[in-house]
Amino acid sequence: MPLDVVDLRAFYASPLGHVARRFIGRAMLRFWPDCSRQRVLGLGFSTPYLSVLGLGAERVLAFMPAAQGVVNWPSEGMSASALVEPTLLPLPTASVDRVVLVHALEETESPDDLLEEVGRVLSPGGRMIVVVPNRRGLWARMDGTPFGHGRPFSRSQLQALMRAAEFSPENWAEALYVPPLKRHLLMRSAPAWERAGAGLSLPFAGVHVIDATKQFYRRVPLRATRRSFAFRPILLPRPTPTQRAANPPGDGAAG
């Protein structure tokens, strides 16, 4: 069952949601410390992170899947959010510079088509941040948070998926080592969990955070070459002595 925008908004308003936003957002800012003069698109439910990444951006859009629902964002000023079909984005080709996918890839029925559409709207040299649940993590095994819904991914699955969509992962991080339990003690000790998990490279992080670049291949068309063959006889028949006597050189027909 697809996530509902009301549940997503309630999660990020909770203490556990604040923990998720803090550590995922920190990983994002390490990859993209400055989005000035960039056109940024968020797809899924990315508004908790667009509020940080979009500072100084030329333009920020928040597209939310039709099956999820949409909320007005930002709370002040003109709305920049819209309800869309994720695999048919209402944007021209090469119209944005950065794309942020949160609560999107694991929820779609066709991850290949989604990444292909993201690649279409990205400009040359465009970059994408993807946040998806880690198949080996605790957050994917417990449905009390949005990261426990949809399809989780392993690192190898994500690499194959991006390679097929012509994206090259440039930076890779994991976040949310703290168990997804709504206990005050765990919330207070979340920074220690993150430091220990990242320092020891533990495999049970809650989410993958990937910074990928759109690849471009210069396709050289194959030219069909035509070859002309002149067939020349290798062995020429030589006349016999009788034939030479009967037809001497310069012998013409009588007039």
Task: Return the pLDDT at 244.
Answer: 57
Task: Return the pLDDT at 187.
Answer: 86
| Contact call for residues 122 and 150 (beta carbons, < 8 A) | no
User: What is the token pair recorded at 212?
Assistant: 């990928």
Task: Return the pLDDT at 243.
Answer: 56
Name beta bridge partners: 83.
Answer: 64
Kindly indicate the confidence band of residue 215, based on its pLDDT and cuts at 50, 70 and 90.
confident
What is the 8-class DSSP label of residue 29?
A: H
Q: Which residue has the higher pLDDT, 218 or 179?
A: 179
Domains and CATH numbers, the chain: 5-214 (3.40.50.150)
DSSP 201-252: T-S--SEEEEEEEE----PPPPPPPP-------SSPPPPPHHHHHHS-TT--
Residue 219 has pLDDT above 50, yes or no: no
pLDDT digits (tens, 9 = 90+) for 180-210: 988 888 888 999 999 999 998 888 999 999 9
DSSP 59-118: EEEEEEETTT-----SSSSS--EEEEBTTB-SS-TT-EEEEEEESSTTT-S-HHHHHHHH
| Contact call for residues 81 and 24 (beta carbons, < 8 A) | no
Residue 248 has pLDDT above 50, yes or no: yes
Residue 250 has pLDDT above 80, yes or no: no
Residue 247 has pLDDT above 70, yes or no: no
pLDDT digits (tens, 9 = 90+) for 43-95: 999 999 999 998 889 999 999 999 999 999 998 889 999 999 999 999 999 99
Identify the H or E element spanning 168: strand 167-175
List the 39-44 sheet strands across, edge first. 81-84, 59-65, 39-44, 96-102, 122-133, 207-214, 167-175
Note the residue count of the chain. Answer: 255
pLDDT digits (tens, 9 = 90+) for 159-177: 999 999 999 999 999 999 9
pLDDT digits (tens, 9 = 90+) for 14-42: 999 999 999 999 999 999 999 999 999 99
Kindly indicate the confidence band of residue 97, based on its pLDDT and cuts at 50, 70 and 90.
very high
**Separation between Cα atoms, residue 17 and residue 188, nearest integer Å:** 13
Residue 226 has pLDDT above 50, yes or no: no
Task: Return the pLDDT at 65.
Answer: 95
